[in-house]
Structure 1
Amino acid sequence: MCFNLPNINRGGYPFIIIFFIASCIAFSISWGLGMTCLLPTLLCIYFFRDPARIIPENTDFILSPADGVITKIDEVSHPDAKEEKKLKCISIFLSVLNVHVTRIPISGTVKEMHYKKGKFVYAMNNSSCNENEKQVIIIEYQEGKEIIVEQVAGFIARRIVCNLQISQNVKAGERFGIIRFGSRVNVFIPTDLAIRVNIGQTVIAGETVIAGLNQEGEKLAYNVI
């Protein structure tokens, strides 16, 4: 029988090693204690899995940056209070069972990055978008045109990892970080772009098209919550 281990994000190895060593020690004491300690090891392997994805080649697509469920689609003010323009916000909730590796939604250049301190409200609540600790990334995909991606911490997720740098050229679908143990990712796009997803829809990072630069074709209806 062939058993294939899943690809693991490198950020998970310290946790997996620690729990594995603890399991070995526990097994030397008793079988029952060893099995109890082995469970966290298996859960870490599952949580930090990093499966390969088939990235669409169409450069007019904006891809989902995270696995999860769309919980909010709304027209909002620009996250930067100095900017007066409106943007569309697509918010994705990640449960502890989702893959937490985040991916670049569109090819371009990292224009700005800001880490904002905040609370650790349960990420399922839409209020967490404004209140929680977050990593803000601004990607310029065309001259003068940009989208904003926010990695938002949650009640359990208190560690945001972002491997990007300002002025870095990025490609749609590339891995750029991870949020540990339940969280939310927000994408802010110009209001004139067509939304391709609906509230309640399950999306896959690097594969699901959430919006398009090309305005041709029917826009999908969506509800605001």
Structure 2
Amino acid sequence: MTIHPVSERTWESLHPDQRLALKQAAARLADEFTGLYGHETIERFLASSFDQFADRARVTKFLPLLAERFARQRLDALARVEGLHADGKPVVLFLCTHNAGRSQMALGFFQAIAGENAIAWSGGSEPGLEVNPVAIRAMAERGIDIAREFPKPWTDETVRAADVVITMGCGDACPIFPGKRYESWELDDPHGQDLDTVRRIRDDLERCVRGLIATLDL
């Protein structure tokens, strides 16, 4: 399988380790989506996902892994939109500006509480460089690890696949698609806040998430 990165980046310009990692990622995704999507689609999603992170990454070592995780989410979303994957689970999308604080904490609570009964993703209109370390610490106090998460943009397929879209502070930049259930949560941005303030935001988010889950047919 040959990967053809998009934009100005060429396959030859990548480090050999990155090329190998992307080839292995493509093979894994091809196995996971056998019968749904062919190599060309998988390569395109993997390459575009790689480019989403490559130009703003501080550490490039994990770029292929981030690209694989993001491509997997996007392909799953596309399969749901196209009716190729229908497991009956509600899909919730949490959106904020940088996908570094509120939406990541909300995602962490949702996954911890709803478990395998629902699907949840998060995204940002202007993704940051890393998840807020104070938010990571505050969530760790609740036994929820969001340190492995990473800021990423929302995409058309993830919004279209969602049953519920929760917006937090992204304003007009948040995508609006007809037929979706939208909720706007008015919560302070944890960016630049101290731990005590982020704890309060965390607790407000937990109440909101529990209220949301109570409305879903799980």
> TM-score under structure 1 normalisation?
0.28
- The structure with the larger Rg is 1
Greater length-normalized contact order (CA 8 Å, ≥ 6 residues apart): 1
Structure with more of its chain in strand, by fraction: 1
